[in-house]
Amino acid sequence: MTRALPKRPALTNEEETRCLRTAAYLAACAVNGDTADVSFVSDPDAVLAAAGRHGMSAIVAMALEKAGMRSERTASAIATALRREAVFEAAAEEVKQRLEAEGIWYVLLKGMKLKDLYPGRGMREMADCDILTDPNRMTDVRRIMEGLGFRTDHAGTGHHDSYERPPLCRFEMHRALLMNDTKNEYYADIEKRLLPSPDGGYERLFGLEDFYLFLVVHVQKHWQLGGTGLRSFLDLYVYLKRMENGLNMDYVLAEARKLDILAFEEEARAFALDLFGGKKLDAGQEEMLSYIAGSGTYGTVKHAVENKVERMGGGRKAKFRYFMKHLFLPMESLEVSYPGVARRRWLIPFFAVYRLGKAVLTKPARVRAELKALRSLKH
């Protein structure tokens, strides 16, 4: 058995930001085909650890090794990423073949498409495989997944069903792109926005612009909820550079306005291009980098609470509204995720008590983190 590498101690946000800035430089060198100047990298393990908190350890390890800084940590990060990618590719091929055989249309999302745009295998790490499928065939999808050896403890509610097959495979089979979001109306007839695959069959594709817009929507969702990791912006950079001569930006901006993400798209695009393009960041972009440094790959509970309370107006009343909104789900959420409760409204108070008790029992750390974040907010 391989000896586990010792964990790095937690860093202050200032130290984390500094390490993440170095990780961004190294990742940029990797995707741009440059050899990094590592003369200023005094603690490569700290940089690699910071990159790992953003799902970027492999690409940073590759840049370090190319510059002559190979270590047990870099080798482990690269080997793990390559193995995981191979496992996901094989599993995705199994799933695709079964969906094709059953005549179910599907769309590969995010990492499964983005990984092929990076210049090397293993550069774009994945924690799971996201596939959008025909929402009317989710019962068949579950039968397919379980027939392939996947197991689920989350199916039939929300916008996706989760499946796992040890030791590495986690799939999210989506019936909708987003959950409880005002942008759902835009994506309501998603099949009409999809293109047939040139290879025929039942695979569907986003157009170049629509795929980019979905990437931005996904980044913004995480940004507003609890923050998002640096890899999201690296994805935007890689996509923009690979598609810069093919993207119709007039269409992108027009649709971004419809999605109410125009300002965010412009800021995110500028930040990604400047940071990974080697340009000096302005004051606002430095604040973005600091926020990202405290977010990790998928954000933090603290950021999520702060952002939601701020959007509710701040203060004691907003904190109370935050608590009540979490306790009593909106009707639109109940209708999507718990239609049985939505049809029997007298169950709603009992369901709220059930959800609170379940959260305390199954996710005590999350509950404590949210309460701590609420208490830390200024009135």
pTM greater than the 0.85 cutoff: no
Distance of alpha carbon 346 from alpha carbon 339, whole angstroms: 13
- Write the CB contacts of 293 (distance below 8 Å, at least 6 apart in sequence): 13, 16, 17, 20, 50
Q: Is the CB of residue 127 less than 8 Å from the CB of residue 55?
A: yes
Distance CA 298, CA 30 (A): 23
3-class DSSP string for the chain: CCCCCCCCCCCCHHHHHHHHHHHHHHHHHHHHCCCCCCCCCCCHHHHHHHHHCCCCHHHHHHHHHHCCCCCHHHHHHHHHHHHHHHHHHHHHHHHHHHHHHHCCCEEECCHHHHHHHCCCCCCCCCCCEEEEECHHHHHHHHHHHHHCCCEEEECCCCCEEEEEECCCEEEEEECCCCCCCHHHCCCCCHHHHCEECCCCCCEEECCHHHHHHHHHHHHHHHHHHCCCCHHHHHHHHHHHHHHCCCCCHHHHHHHHHHCCCHHHHHHHHHHHHHHHCCCCCCHHHHHHHHHHHCCCCCCCHHHHHHHHHHHCCCHHHHHHHHHHHHHCCCHHHHHHHCHHHHHCHHHHHHHHHHHHHHHHHHCHHHHHHHHHHHHHCCC
Contact between residue 231 and residue 28 where contact means Cβ atoms under 8 Å apart? no
Domains and CATH numbers, the chain: 83-206 (3.30.460.40), 303-376 (no CATH)
The answer to whether 183 and 257 are in contact (CB under 8 A) is: no
What is the Cα–Cα distance from 142 to 55, expressed in whole angstroms? 28
Q: What is the pLDDT along the chain (379 residues), one digit of tens a residue?
A: 333 444 444 455 788 899 999 999 999 999 999 999 999 999 999 999 999 999 999 999 999 999 999 999 999 999 999 999 999 999 999 999 999 999 999 999 999 999 999 999 999 999 899 999 999 999 999 999 999 999 998 788 778 899 999 888 999 999 988 866 667 788 888 888 999 998 889 999 999 999 999 999 999 988 877 678 899 999 999 999 999 889 999 999 999 999 999 999 999 999 999 999 999 999 999 999 988 887 754 445 555 555 555 666 666 766 667 566 666 666 656 665 667 767 777 777 777 677 667 666 666 766 666 666 556 656 5
